[in-house]
Structures are given as C-alpha cells and as structure tokens.
Structure 1
Amino acid sequence: MSERIRLRRSAAALLVAAVTTGSALLLTACDPEGDTGTTAAPSKAVDGPASAEPSGPADGSPAPAGGKLNKTAGTKVTVSTGTNTVLMDGKSVDFGTVVRDLAWSPDGKHAAFIDGAGNLETSDPDGSHKTVIAKAPSGETWSHPTWQVYGPDEPHGAGTYLLFTADDKKALKLLSVEAKAGAKPDALHVGDSEAEKPLPDVGNLWPNSAGKAGATVYANKNDGQVYFHDVISRTNGGVITKGSQPALADDGTVVFVRSVSGHAHIFAKAHEQGAKEVDLTPGASVDYTEPVISHDGKNIAFRGPDGIYTMPAKGGKPDRITDTVGLPAYRS
C-alpha cells in the first residue's frame, strides 16, 4: 500500500470520526454566529466567483489584465484561465484548446479540464493525447473536475474516475465518471450518510480530493456548508464547517473560503480531531478565493483580484507568483 493511500485512509477516518461523533466543536463551526475558534467573527459564507461556472471567458479570448509576472517555476502551481494557455513551471504552455478548471491526476501525468465546448477532457501535461471523456448534454454546464484513483487493494478494485459539478439550470449535482473515452457519468449520491440529518443531494458543487483513497470535500450552495464524503464506502460523511470552495490535502487538512467583514478570506482546518479553524488571511481587505493545498499539506495557492498568491498552510505573508488571474492547481 502506498504512503499516500495510507495517509488518505487515516485522514478519512479522522474526518469521519469528527463528523459522526457530533462533537461540540464541529457543531459550533456549522453555526456562522457561533464561536469558530478563528481570529475574526465570520459573516455569511460566500460561494466566490464562478462557483458553478467554469473559470475563464467562454469564447477562449485572452486572459484578463496581467501576464507579465510568472514565478510558477519550482512552486508546482499551475494556472488555467479559460484560454488555450496554462501557466506552469515558469512557462506558458499552449494546450491547443480552451482549458477551464484544470485539475491534475495524483501522479501529475494527466490533466482533466472542461474544454471550449463544455465537455470533460483529459490530456498529457503538454496538451497532447487529448481524450474526450464525456460530452455535456445541451443546456447543462459542467465544471471543476477532480480525480479519484483507486488501487488494486481497494474494495472495488483499481480504477480511475473523475468527479465534477453538473448544472442543468434546475439543480446542482455532483457526477462521477470513469476516466476513459465515451464513459457515461452517474450521479454521485451523497445522501446515504450515517449522519442524523440526511445530506443534501442537490446544490452540491466544487468537489475536491487529493486523488487517492476515496476522501472528497465539496460545498453546498444552498446552505453554505462544506461537506466531507467517503467515496469508497458511501456511508460516511457530513458537515465539516461553514464555507465554500474547499480543497483537501493528503493528510486531511481542508482549506476553504469564508466571508469576514465583507471580504472573502482563506481558512484552514487541520485533520486532527478537535483542531481549530485558522484564518490565514486575517488582514485581507480584498477577496481571496479558490484556494488549493499541496499534497503534503505544507503550502496553499489562491486567487486574488490581481493574480495568484502562495503562502505556507500554517500562515504567513502571501506571495504573488503571477499577475495572471485564473484558477490555481497543484501538480505533483
């Protein structure tokens, strides 16, 4: 069993324990008016920009203002902007097609994204060997794919899947599809939980997993909560906290967005049961959104109004690595 799978299983167990024990800390964190253990009292949760829409312009036109600064080399951060180009390794890589909501496989060898036609595609890191996994039905918008890779020691055997958001203008739902050409997406049912209150099956969006061993976090637009789901067993899950746009590290650390005094801040919650939430951007006077966390849980990247920033996951001074505004992702 790989070290990453072992870590993810341990993280899943801790998250499940935190959800199912109904601890006072977790219940308090779900109340936006309660004591969250943060440095500032949060106001209502925010979805942030493009919460249910793919990132970037719909016509593949050039990215917003910026593009002169590119310090992505050595950071493992990539930035997709809804154009043909993706920033990575200090370069601008032309994928030959519109790339929105780029996400990397756990080994960093494959990209998943929403193309210019709104379909789900995968490719190699340079944009070659593109494969259309599934085509979005007319009138339905797909966004924010994330990878789930199972090893041969998992209960249902080895397999590679993609989870993503589907918006048919009536409801937001999470779908799952095997990462092969022409596969048929199925609804990801998150409501069959052991929690006392049934989990919502609609309004769900922004799924994120570090890739392996089944643990996934996602947000619900209707109630403003961040949820956890054990994809393997499908019987464990529940509310983690109030917020939106969550991302998950291998060790179970979660980063997410919450509004504080009228601005979107980046928060983190460690995987240990009873860990307090920490506002990583307590002095923010602008909106910081769309956070991602490195596989080892040591660094985060997020979007600001004037580009992409990185900082240690334990807090520190944000460092702007590019003035191109887009969606950040970590590549192994």
Structure 2
Amino acid sequence: MTRVAVVGGAGYIGGDLVRILLAHPEVDLVAVTSRSLAGRRVDGAHPNLRGLTDLTFTDPGRLGRCDVLFTAVPHRESMGQLGRFAALADLLIDLSGDFRLRDPAVYAAYYGVEHTAPGELAGFTPGLPELYRKELAGADRIAVPGCMATAAILALHPAAADGLLTGEVTVDARTGSSGSGVSAGPENLHAERSGAMRVFAPTGHRHEAEVAQATGLPTRMTATGVEAVRGVQVLCRVTLAEGVDERVLRAAYRRHYGEEPFVRVVAQKRGQYRYPEPKLLAGSNYCDVGFAVAPGSRHAVLIGALDNLVKGGGGGGVQSLNVRMGWPERTGLGFPGLHP
C-alpha cells in the first residue's frame, strides 16, 4: 500500500480529500495534519466521516515521512515550506495556488506578493490529466489547478487546441460558498450570503491567469458568489473563427473528450438539464462541458461545471495521483453525483 498524508486536512478541500483517500483501495492514509486541531479526531471536523476512521489530527511539525504528500494549505504557505514538504515524500501534490503559474512575474501580479521560490515553478506539472496525462506519468511534483480555472480550461480546451476561436475570451464564473474556505470572513456569514449574488471579482481573478496559461487565449474573468454551497459553473463567451459552426465545434468536443473518464459533453437540444449543471455533480469528480452557438453568428458560449471541492480540488489531485502511479484513473473516484 502507498502511504499517503494530507497537510492541512481541517478545511473543506482537505476534508473531501480525506474522504476520497479513505475509500481508495491502493493507499493507506497515515496522517492528516492541523495546527489548531492537533490531537483531536478527524471525524470531529468532518462528521460525514464518522465510523470510517479513527485518525486524529497530527501537528504539522510532527509529520513523518510517507510516499505521497498532499498539501491543502492556504496560498503562500506551500512555497515557503517547499523544502520541508519535499523532504517528507517522494511525490508532492499541492492544492494551493503557489505553483500553478509558471511565470513568477505573473504570479506576483495576480497574488500581490513576490514568489519566494521562483526557480521551482517549472518543476511542477499541472494536475489536469485531460491536458497533461503524459507529463503526469513521470511527475514528482504536481500542482492542481484552481476550481474555476479547471472548469474554464476544460470548457475551452477543444476549441482552443483546434484553433476554432479568435479574439479574447470572457469567463463569467459562479461559485458556491465552500469555495471561500472554512475560515471565510464575515462577508460569508449566512445572513450576508443567503439570497445574494455577489460579484467579488469583477476583474483580474487569479484563475484568469491559469486559464490564459493553459489555453494560450487572451482571457478576462469575472467571479460571482451564489447561494449554493458546492459547485462551479463557468460561461466562456467566445468568437468562433471564420467557417466554424456548431457541427465543427461538437466534433472537436467529441474528439478530445470521447475517451476521457471524467469529462462529459452535455449540449442537448431539449430536456431540463441541457447544459452543464453543478447541482448534479456534487461529490463527484466529473466536469461536464457544453456549448451553445448563436444562430447565424460566430458568437458562442462554452460552458463548464464541476464540484469545486472534488474535480476542482481533492478529486483532481487523486486523479492525478492515479495517473502518476499507473493505477486505473477512476480508482477511488467512482461516485456519480446526486439527483435530485
């Protein structure tokens, strides 16, 4: 069995990661860390895990060596502790934003601080198997993309890779409250968030840079918080290249994603759920993508949806682990979501 530990397991992404790893047949989850909850039971912070584990949180300073280390810590913490994390495991999978961008100048522009380990950025492979499966097979350091970035990248990828788009992309992203994390501030109290549709990033959201980096497209992004707890949905407004119509677009999606285990093309002519809907994806590792083309024009909307804590977080990390270790990609990730 592969010995796995999670640093920062008290948060929402850490909790879902622990949930997935406990049921993974190839791994032995040996430790979950938390500074504030050290010595207390993991299922106290994550009550859905009652009866599934007797693990208690370990103080991060007392963590021993393992085979694989997941880091689900706040942004800016991973880069400061990279040397220590790397000494604890041969394979490091980071779920923070610290190693997602390759250019330190771009990182500084979007995160507001200088990167403290700029020379290490090129050593991380993006944890997005749909685009980087070959690279992940030999990677020892993996950086899982952000949740809204993952949805937008997967929605855009077939058209971008096939040269079907022209001009700038505008990404309109909506996210549930769990995306703010377990320690979110007063603006995310139920009394403030309930019933609201808050535009918290009208311009320059951090995931904008990830989308541009992965697709090669000039990108502008807006992010809005909605009343849902889980889920991300992105609407990517694009201009199709000359001669590209819905038939060409659909063929590109089928060609790129026909064999993908966790991407489904949802673009139907009728039905209640004709386009990607995050409600159906809660708890699952799927990203549904779709599209709509305005009749008689070159304007199109490319749509992506996922669970921000699974495919956009811990599940994406476990999928990358499966690819890296040569295990079947669906291992531990079979939950299909819920309806209703």
* Same structural fold, with TM-score higher than 0.5 when normalized by the shorter chain: no
The normalised TM-score by structure 1 is 0.29
CA radius of gyration, larger in: 2
The normalised TM-score by structure 2 is 0.28
| Greater RCO (CA < 8 Å, at least 6 residues apart) | 1
Q: Of Structure 1 and Structure 2, which has the larger fraction of its residues in helix? A: 2
